[in-house]
Amino acid sequence: MNYIKTKVFELTHLNCKMAQLDTTRPLIVGPDVPVSPYPIKMKGEVVRGFGRGGKELGIPTANLQEEATEALCKDVETGIYFGWAQVGNDHTVYPMVMSLGWNPYFKNEKRIAEVHIMHTFPEDFYGVELRVVVLGYIRPEQDYSSLDALINDINIDIQVANNSLARPAYTEYKKDQLFGIPG
């Protein structure tokens, strides 16, 4: 009897562990060197959205103008991506995560490309030109049962992006021509 109980416990424990493993996301994505269709290079003006990113999520996203969004949609599917970004005349190139799509949690009616830059800026930069080099895909867009679950997944995306960009062939793109002559 005790033997059966032990085995049942072991199996349950194993199942729980496997369930945990199944829901754990890889913290680095893509090959060691970016492959086609990457790099995707894009620039566009930062436009206003619903103002939810900073206020509701604590994660501001610079929304790209419609032309840039449409151009990106010609190259890739909707989803979450990572790469490098540069704002206006500032020479610095920062890591970024980009959401391209409909924001299913908020049921948007228009597709939008929005970029969260891993840097704390002193002020907003609406109307300024944003340059991005997209280097890889992280995951598809999802709906969520709570705002916290969405925020949690975005924070994991940020870790995934930072880890994925730390590889030499990805770091190299910080020096891309697109970022050469800002202004």
Is residue 170 within 8 A of residue 35, CB to CB? The reply is no
**3 state SS of 133:** strand
Give the Cα separation of 119 and 122 in Å (integer): 10
For the chain, how big is the Rg over CA atoms in Å?
A: 19
Residue among 42, 61, 64, 87 that touches ligand RBF (CB under 6 A): 61
Is residue 49 part of the contact set for Mg ion (CB under 5 A)? Answer: yes
Which residue matches tokens 């994505």?
Answer: 29
User: Would you state the structure tokens that stand for residue 111, as one six-digit string?
Assistant: 């597709």
Number of residues that bind ligand RBF (CB under 6 A): 20
Query: What residues numbered 118-177 form the site for Mg ion, per CB under 5 A?
Result: none
Give the Cα separation of 119 and 96 in Å (integer): 9
Q: Is 49 or 182 the residue whose CB approaches ligand RBF more closely?
A: 49
- The minimum distance between CB 30 and ligand ADP, in angstroms, equals 22
The answer to whether residue 45 is catalytic is no
Is residue 80 part of the contact set for ligand RBF (CB under 6 A)? Answer: yes
Residue ranges in contact with ligand RBF by CB under 6 A: 49, 52-53, 57, 59, 61, 80, 97, 99, 103-106, 114, 116, 141-142, 150, 154, 157
